[in-house]
């Protein structure tokens, strides 16, 4: 079997097109221009790429984009003061602090400072709880992107056995909630899971989010399974020139493609969906902040 490649880049482009339509309706029918503030602390090259891409796509769909770049030695108190200022700014409907933050800053203090009404990452305890009980609000961007790709590929997910590898707050745990909401049977595997290969062999759906290049082998995959590879591992690529890198996922793509029915590539799979879902969440928060019902077709 040669797996179908799930084209996240193309899906994200389509989604951004639908988001642009919603932005234009919010403007013309309600006079609202959604605004997204993105804060980056330090010069981590990968984070700079992601933040620039977020700002570019925010503007491209017609939203207001506010980018705040702070030096790596910014005291935590200054970052929290900026977050409070953005909380109070009525032109800002979404606030995102790019992770990871430098070591001297406690990410939990930053997350707690963000007004849950503007928390487009869905990191605050209030929004994590809302996802758990199914109330309207933003949904964690990467897991939401994975869910959209899975629904598009498989239709109903009901009764499927999904194995998530990784239990992070960013991906593993919210992914578990979303798949449960879609009536999957969910197993969350992690670094202490015994016989991981045997666990993964049970899966109709594999979501790999461990951050270890090529960890999931081809012979771990049940024939016909659908694989979502969340891993973005930057590896040296001397064959491309000195100091060059390439991205590879958590799944051995070539081997898994021989067994699976469908698989996301890295790059071009889940990554682009993360940013498109961030924009979808900004529509959600801008709608809710103005007493409007968020459009269900973006995030349902």
Ligand X SMILES: Nc1nc2c(c(=O)[nH]1)N[C@@H](CN(C=O)c1ccc(C(=O)N[C@@H](CCC(=O)O)C(=O)O)cc1)CN2
Q: Are 15 and 291 in contact (CB under 8 A)?
A: no
Q: Which of residues 181-200 bind ligand X (CB under 6 A)?
A: none
CB of 73 to ligand X, least distance (A): 20
Residue whose CB is less far from ligand X, 274 or 287: 274
Catalytic residue check, 54? yes
Q: Is 16 annotated as a binding residue?
A: no
Q: Are 95 and 86 in contact (CB under 8 A)?
A: yes
Q: Which stretch binds ligand X (CB under 6 A): 46-54, 110-118, 172-180, 284-292?
A: 46-54
| 10 sits in which H/E element | helix 8-30
What is the residue whose two structure tokens read 């890198």?
A: 245
**Biggest distance spanned by C-alpha atoms of the chain:** 56
Q: Round to whole Å and give the CA distance between 19 and 278.
A: 11
Q: Are 144 and 8 in contact (CB under 8 A)?
A: no
Q: Residue 198: CB partners within 8 Å, gap ≥ 6?
A: none
Exactly one of 119, 121, 229, 252 is catalytic; which is it? 121
Write each residue from 243 to 282 as x if it is in contact with ligand X (CB under 6 A), else as -, in one continuous string.
----x------------------xxx--xx-xx-------
Q: Does 142 bind ligand X (CB under 6 A)?
A: yes
Q: Is 232 annotated as a binding residue?
A: yes
Catalytic residue check, 182? no
Q: Does 141 bind ligand X (CB under 6 A)?
A: yes
Q: Does 99 bind ligand X (CB under 6 A)?
A: yes
Q: Label the pairing between strands 245-248 and 161-165.
A: unpaired
Q: Round to whole Å and give the CA distance between 202 and 112.
A: 38
CB of 232 to ligand X, least distance (A): 5
Residue whose CB is less far from ligand X, 3 or 111: 111
Q: Residue 297: CB partners within 8 Å, gap ≥ 6?
A: 18
Q: Is 234 annotated as a binding residue?
A: no
Q: Is 224 annotated as a binding residue?
A: no
> Structure tokens of 185?
């049977």
Catalytic residue check, 98? yes
Q: Does 82 bind ligand X (CB under 6 A)?
A: no
Where does this chain bind ligand X (CB under 6 A)?
Answer: 46, 49-50, 96-99, 121, 141-142, 232, 247, 266-268, 271-272, 274-275
Task: Supply the residues annotated as catalytic.
Answer: 54, 98, 121
């Amino acid at each position: 079997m040669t797996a179908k490649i799930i084209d996240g880049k193309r899906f994200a482009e389509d989604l951004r097109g639908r988001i642009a339509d919603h932005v234009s309706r919010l403007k013309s029918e309600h006079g609202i221009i959604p605004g997204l503030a993105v804060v980056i602390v330090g010069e981590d090259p990968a984070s700079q790429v992601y933040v620039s891409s977020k700002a570019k796509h925010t503007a491209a769909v017609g939203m207001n984009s506010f980018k705040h770049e702070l030096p790596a030695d910014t005291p935590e108190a200054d970052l929290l003061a900026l977050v409070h200022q953005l909380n109070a700014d009525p032109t800002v409907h979404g606030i995102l602090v790019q992770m990871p933050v430098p070591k001297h800053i406690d990410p939990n203090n930053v997350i707690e400072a963000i007004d849950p009404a503007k928390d487009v990452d869905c990191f605050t305890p209030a929004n994590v709880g809302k996802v758990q009980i199914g109330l309207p609000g933003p949904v964690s961007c990467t897991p939401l992107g994975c869910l959209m790709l899975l629904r598009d590929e498989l239709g109903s997910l009901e009764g499927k056995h999904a194995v998530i590898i990784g239990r992070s707050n960013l991906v593993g745990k919210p992914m578990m909630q979303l798949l449960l909401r879609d009536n999957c049977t969910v197993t969350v595997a992690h670094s202490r899971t015994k016989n991981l290969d045997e666990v993964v062999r049970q899966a109709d759906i594999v979501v790999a989010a461990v951050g270890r290049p090529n960890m999931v082998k081809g012979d771990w995959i049940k024939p016909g399974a659908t694989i979502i590879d969340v891993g973005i591992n930057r590896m040296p690529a001397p064959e491309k020139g000195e100091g060059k890198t390439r991205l590879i996922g958590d799944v051995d793509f070539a081997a898994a493609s021989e067994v699976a029915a469908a698989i996301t590539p890295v790059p071009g799979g889940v990554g682009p969906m993360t940013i498109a879902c961030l924009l979808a969440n900004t529509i959600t928060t801008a709608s809710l902040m103005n007493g409007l019902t968020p459009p269900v077709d973006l995030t349902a």
